Amino acid sequence: MKIGIVGCAGRMGQMLIKEVLIHPDCTLVGAVEAPGNPVLGQDPGVLVGHDPTRLAITDDASSLFAAADAVIDFTAPQVTLRHAQQAADSNTALVVGTTGFDDEGQARLQAFGEKTFIFQAANFSVGVNLLLGLSQQVASILGNDYDAEILEMHHKHKVDAPSGTALALGRAVAKGRGVDLNQAAQRVRDGITGARTPGDIGFATLRGGAVIGDHTVMFAADGERIELTHKASDRSIYSSGAVRAALWSKNQGKGFYGMAEMLGFK
């Protein structure tokens, strides 16, 4: 399968290049970065310490979408939306790992699923997606008798907070309780906040060092606390999952998909 990578110079972009180059069912057909990026013109294979590919990193996303069967995008919300339009125009599958969409941007991204294959995941780890399912199930059993708090930590360079995975966990808890996360979320506590409001779904964000991604969902009541935790120690769990999604697109029609559909969770 012919796969292209946008945002190829970032941490995930480089991991994705490596994954595509070593995967027996994939061919790297191009890699794209933003205009002015110092990696432009370099060989993507050499960039990641692999054998040369005889390709050059460009800033021409349109040509990449025309050449690829699927493009994998871990960039930024507005950039991803432009790529989703290009994917729709060229009937190319788009696999999205970008986080930080607002409600309008998320709705726009999902709408492109009417025109082409769009796959989005806040986290491509199988373990994290099991955590999502467990969090929803536990929340549905415990209800508001247990206070729900979501704690996440990432490396010091991450630009959005809470993480996309933390928000996905919040949505799972909210779904288990049958509520709207936008109404129940408590993302910031500072100063004299007063007592905790029953039914809140709290978020706490930590940033520092080179932490790849730690997430814990806590359910606390008088006398006991349940904690569900996932800790990532290697980014390859994300890149392999994203490439798996790109390969999975080959046998799917247009639509908006996620990890639950690919893994058969629903």
Q: How far is Cα 88 from Cα 80, in angstroms, rounded to an integer?
A: 12
Q: Which residues contact 238 (CB under 8 A, 6 or more apart)?
A: 12, 15, 97, 123, 124, 125, 232
Strands, DSSP E only, in 116-164? 117-120, 147-154
| Catalytic pick among 2, 50, 115, 158 | 158
Q: Which residue has the tokens 């995975």?
A: 165
Tokens representing 23 are 């995967």
Q: How far is Cα 54 from Cα 109, in angstroms, rounded to an integer?
A: 33
Residue 51 CB neighbours (<10 A):
9
Residue 128 CB neighbours (<10 A):
22
Q: Which residues contact 195 (CB under 8 A, 6 or more apart)?
A: none
| Dihedral sign (CA 25, 265, 118, 229) | negative
158 assigned to active site: yes
115 assigned to active site: no
Q: How far is Cα 175 from Cα 188, in angstroms, rounded to an integer?
A: 21
Query: Angle at the Cα of 125 (from 170 to 251), degrees rounded to 5?
Result: 110
Amino acid letter for position 163: S
b/e 130-150 (16+ beta carbons within 10 angstroms → b): ebbbbbbebbeebeeebbbbb
| Catalytic pick among 18, 23, 83, 154 | 154
Residues with active-site annotation: 154, 158
